[in-house]
């Protein structure tokens, strides 16, 4: 009887342990595969991505059948090399933290090349891993890149250290002036724990994305203000972009680009009609529209017909009663520039040209109402239409010069990903950071770490 009771008790405990371990496995695998947080729960509804799905019971059975294989924890991780690179950066940052972290420079520090200051040894430790020593992998993780090892007086801001500062500035998207002050000083003094958490948060975001992308795709990283096109997984094209302001933030989502529009019309939002144009249109509708190179049309797209602007009651029109579209004709005044790129979506977001090219020289480029302005639209259009024998750069420019709207359908739809990554890393784990322009890091950190 005693033996039977012991056996029953042991079996019961084994079942309980099995249930507990299975529950732990399911929770861990789910978090690791699709993220701890749910992107759809973001309060401002900026994250419009579907959460990855996985049948954990089937995955567990597969693992149990392959017991001889390496522990299958990698099966759940994103397959993107960017995720692996962030893991390397995280390891380097944690190693630097365990070695004592990095020093903070005194508030108000200003350093110009050739100057001498008691802050220089601290800066050298921060970026080069020591006063006059070579670099360590952990120092690289702090933002340094290999430079010529030339010994200088301890407090002299020498050429070697100036180059290290320039590299640091490039890694953060700052102008590489080599001058330490203001923004550069603030970035140097960001605590190592904050950088570790920033990397962890961006690894989490990769779990929200599809486990792997298609071979060909277009990606816009909003905080980086940059667009990249990939062909067979390798970068084929890149350019600067302008994204939405804080109040009109560019949403995070994906869709497929279907066509390019050459010499597009720009449809004027009713809010602009109401707040800016109503008095002028009421007083002189025809003269106002001629001056602004605009027209009023009935219908949409290719079926739109122009109507007489004097037939509209501009003084009393409302969004409900305005049954027309006010649009700006193709040309140099058009807010969409010469080209727009359409990937139909419920957010009404697209890529487009702009007549204000001077804005691309700015370091921070969140100026738009939500859509993404591209620096080199003709170059992008030429690349996207490269497999269509009817189109090359010359034919595209000739069509634009005609100032007649032209829709060109892509031979193959191209996946487009608008993402929000404030940290990424090179293949060796060397990290890059950007400002949290929309506050998404701050919101996620409160949920993830608290």
Express each pLDDT in 161-179 by its tens digit.
999 999 999 999 999 999 9
Confidence of residue 69 (pLDDT cuts 50, 70, 90): low
Nearest to 293 by CA among 325, 332, 328, 339: 328
Q: How far apart are CA 291 and CA 310, in angstroms?
A: 15
User: How many C-alpha atoms does 202 have within 13 Å on its Cβ side?
Assistant: 30
Backbone angles phi, psi at 217, to 5 degrees: -165, 165
What pLDDT is stored for residue 53 in this prediction? 62
Asked whether residue 29 carries a pLDDT value surpassing 60, the answer given is: no
Query: With contact defined as beta carbons under 8 Å apart, do 138 and 92 qualify?
Result: yes
pLDDT at 135 over 80: no
Q: What is the pLDDT of residues 395-421, one digit of tens each?
A: 999 999 999 999 999 999 999 999 999
408 phi and psi angles, rounded to 5 deg: -125, 115
Q: Assign 3-class secondary structure to 74-105.
A: HHHCCCCHHHHHHHHHHHHHHHHHHCCCCCCC
Whether residue 57 is predicted with pLDDT greater than 60 in this model: the reply is no
**pLDDT (average), residues 188-217:** 95
- Asked if the model's pLDDT at residue 155 lies above 60, the reply is yes
pTM over 0.85: no
56-65 and 2-34 are packed helices; what angle lies between their axes, rounded to 10 degrees?
110
Domain ranges of the chain: 267-328
Q: Which residues contact 192 (CB under 8 A, 6 or more apart)?
A: 93, 96, 97, 101, 102, 142
Q: What share of the chain is helix, strand, coil (3-state, %, to 5)?
A: 40, 20, 40
Q: Residue 198: its pLDDT value, please?
A: 98
pLDDT value, residue 86: 97
pLDDT at 132: 39
Provide the mean pLDDT of the chain: 86
Q: Are 297 and 325 in contact (CB under 8 A)?
A: yes
Residue 449 pLDDT: 81
pLDDT over 60 at 194, yes or no:
yes
Structure confidence at residue 54 as a pLDDT band (50, 70, 90): low
Q: Which helix (H) or strand (E) holds 192?
A: helix 192-208
Q: Helix 120-128 crosses helix 159-171 at what angle (to 10 degrees)?
A: 60
State the average pLDDT over residues 319-344. Answer: 94
Q: What is the pLDDT of residue 42?
A: 56
Q: What confidence score (pLDDT) does residue 380 get?
A: 99
Per-residue confidence at 65, pLDDT binned at 50, 70, 90?
low
- With 60 as the cut, is the pLDDT of residue 137 above it? no
Q: Please give the pLDDT value at position 15.
A: 60
pLDDT for the residue numbered 394: 97
Higher pLDDT, 68 or 205: 205
- Cα–Cα distance, 61 to 434 (Å, whole number): 41
261-303 pLDDT tens trace: 999 999 998 989 998 999 999 999 999 999 999 999 998 877 8
Q: In this predicted structure, what is the pLDDT of residue 76?
A: 72
* pLDDT surpasses 60 at 60: no
- Please state which of the ranges 178-187, 227-236, 298-307 shows the lowest mean pLDDT: 298-307
Give 345's pLDDT tier (boundaries 50, 70, 90). Answer: very high
Q: Which of 261, 220, 258 lies closest to 412 in space, CA to CA?
A: 258
Rounded Cα–Cα distance for residues 173 and 162 (Å): 17
The pLDDT assigned to 10 comes to 64
pLDDT category at 448 given cuts 50, 70, 90 is confident
∠ Cα 24 26 28 (to 5°): 65
Q: Determine contact, residues 143/431, Cβ cutoff 8 Å.
A: yes
- pLDDT score of 326 more than 80: yes
- Total number of residues shown for the chain: 450
Q: Tell me, what's the pLDDT at 238?
A: 98
Q: How far apart are CA 162 and CA 148, in angstroms?
A: 11
Give the residue-averaged pLDDT of 153-165. Answer: 94
pLDDT for residue 41: 61
Residues 358-399 have pLDDT tens digits of: 999 999 999 999 999 999 999 999 999 999 999 999 999 999
What pLDDT score was predicted for residue 139? 47
pLDDT reading at 138 higher than 50: no
Express each pLDDT in 82-111 by its tens digit. 999 999 999 999 999 999 999 999 999 999
- Flag whether pLDDT at 35 surpasses 90: no
Q: In 121-265, where do the E strands start and end?
A: 217-221, 226-231, 234-244, 253-262
Render the burial of 28-51: b for 16+ CB within 10 Å, e for the rest: ebbebbbbebebeebeeebbbbee
Question: pLDDT: is 333 or 165 the higher one?
Answer: 165
* pLDDT value at residue 427: 96
Query: Do residues 259 and 409 lie in contact, with contact meaning Cβ atoms separated by under 8 Å?
Result: yes
pLDDT at 333: 83
The b-or-e profile of 175-202 (16+ CB within 10 A means b, else e) is eeebbbeeebbebbeeebeebbbbbbbb
CB-CB contact of 72 with 66 (8 Å): yes
């Amino acid at each position: 009887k005693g033996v039977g009771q012991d056996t029953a008790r042991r079996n019961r405990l084994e079942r309980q342990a099995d249930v507990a371990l299975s529950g732990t496995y399911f929770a861990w695998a789910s978090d690791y595969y699709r993220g701890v947080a749910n992107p759809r729960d973001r309060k401002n509804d900026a994250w419009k991505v579907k959460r990855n799905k996985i049948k954990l019971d089937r995955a567990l059975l597969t693992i149990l059948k392959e017991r001889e294989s390496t522990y299958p924890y990698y099966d759940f991780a994103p397959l993107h090399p960017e995720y692996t690179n962030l893991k390397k950066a995280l390891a380097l940052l944690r190693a630097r933290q365990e070695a004592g972290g990095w020093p903070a420079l005194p508030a108000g520090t200003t350093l110009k090349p050739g100057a001498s200051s008691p802050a220089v040894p601290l800066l050298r430790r921060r970026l080069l891993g020591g006063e006059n020593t070579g670099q360590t992998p952990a120092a690289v993780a702090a933002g340094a890149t290999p430079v010529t090892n030339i010994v200088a007086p301890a407090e002299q801001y020498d050429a070697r250290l100036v180059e290290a500062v320039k590299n640091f500035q490039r890694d953060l998207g700052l102008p590489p002036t080599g001058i330490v002050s203001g923004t550069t000083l603030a970035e140097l003094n960001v605590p190592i724990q904050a950088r570790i958490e920033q990397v962890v948060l961006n690894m989490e975001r990769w779990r929200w994305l599809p486990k792997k992308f298609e071979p060909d795709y277009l990606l816009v990283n909003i905080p980086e203000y940059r667009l990249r096109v990939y062909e067979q997984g390798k970068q084929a094209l890149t350019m600067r972009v302008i994204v939405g302001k804080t109040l009109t933030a560019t949403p995070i989502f994906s869709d497929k680009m279907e066509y390019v529009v050459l010499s597009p019309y720009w449809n004027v939002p009713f809010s602009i009609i109401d707040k800016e144009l109503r008095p002028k249109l009421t007083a002189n509708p025809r003269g106002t529209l001629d001056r602004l190179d605009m027209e009023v049309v009935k219908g949409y797209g290719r079926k739109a017909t122009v109507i007489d602007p004097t037939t509209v009651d501009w003084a009393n029109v409302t969004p409900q009663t305005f049954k027309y579209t006010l649009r700006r004709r193709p040309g140099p005044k058009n807010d969409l520039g010469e080209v727009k790129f359409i990937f139909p979506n419920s957010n009404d977001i697209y890529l487009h040209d702009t007549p204000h090219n001077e804005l691309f020289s700015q370091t921070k480029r969140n100026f738009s109402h939500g859509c993404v302005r591209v620096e080199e639209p003709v170059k992008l259009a030429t690349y996207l239409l490269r497999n269509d024998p009817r189109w090359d750069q010359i034919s595209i420019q000739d069509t634009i010069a005609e100032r007649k709207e032209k829709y060109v359908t892509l031979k193959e739809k191209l996946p487009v990903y608008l993402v929000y990554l404030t940290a990424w890393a090179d293949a060796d784990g060397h990290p890059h950071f950007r400002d949290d322009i929309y506050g998404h890091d701050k919101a996620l950190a409160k949920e993830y770490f608290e």
